[in-house]
């Protein structure tokens, strides 16, 4: 048996063109309920935020850009409280920029399988799921990647040479 290595799954998503399409709100709400969810990074134009959950039709977030006095890290003793945002804030889903990345941490194989099952269960009936899970071996696709045997020959065929 192969030993499991914990995995952090980061999924970059585009949830609309100029604004977040409301068809994705149900999927986001579902994803935040997964025990593996570590939150989402995104924001709105010119403002990056860390989203950690939701309440009703609002996202809960922390703003990592709170200005603070720089600690003297050479002193050997300094307060780490300046590295944290103390006040969560909220933003309506529709004000969020559509480019985000959501993260899921799976500590072991049963945790990963639970994550996959939750995704299939919660996203199956949605008009627009955030992502899909496929149980497949992608090895046949690898033949077309750089560095694999036959890559240059395949590339020459595609370019007409």
Distance between CA atoms of residues 9 and 108, nearest Å: 13
**pTM over 0.85, yes/no:** no
List the pLDDT tens digit at each of the 161 positions of the chain.
678 899 999 999 999 998 899 999 999 999 999 999 999 999 887 788 999 999 999 999 988 766 666 767 677 776 666 566 677 889 999 999 999 999 999 999 999 999 999 999 999 989 999 998 887 765 544 444 455 555 444 444 344 44
Burial class (CB in 10 A: 0-12, 13-18, 19+), 53: middle
- The reported pLDDT for the residue numbered 2 is 75
Distance between CA atoms of residues 24 and 49, nearest Å: 18
Distance between CA atoms of residues 121 and 33, nearest Å: 12
Asked whether the CA dihedral 67, 69, 72, 78 is positive or negative, the reply is negative
Six token digits for residue 92:
């309506």
Distance between CA atoms of residues 110 and 116, nearest Å: 10
Asked if 43 and 97 count as a contact pair (C-beta separation under 8 A), the reply is: yes
- The reported pLDDT for the residue numbered 138 is 55
Six token digits for residue 43:
């924001």
């Amino acid at each position: 048996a192969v030993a499991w290595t914990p995995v952090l799954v980061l999924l970059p998503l585009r949830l609309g063109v100029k604004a977040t399409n409301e068809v994705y709100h149900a999927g986001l709400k579902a994803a935040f309920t997964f025990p593996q969810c570590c939150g989402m990074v995104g924001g709105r134009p010119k403002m990056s935020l860390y989203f950690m959950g939701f309440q009703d039709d609002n996202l809960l977030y922390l703003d990592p850009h709170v200005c603070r006095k720089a600690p003297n890290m050479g002193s050997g003793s300094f307060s780490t409280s300046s590295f944290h945002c103390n006040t969560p804030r909220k933003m309506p889903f529709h004000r969020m920029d559509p480019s985000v990345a959501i993260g899921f941490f799976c500590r072991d194989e049963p945790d990963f399988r639970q994550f996959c099952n939750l995704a299939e269960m919660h996203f199956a009936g949605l008009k627009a799921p955030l992502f899909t899970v496929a149980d497949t071996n992608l090895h046949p696709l690898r033949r077309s990647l750089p560095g694999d045997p036959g890559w240059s020959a395949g590339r020459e065929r595609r370019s007409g040479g």
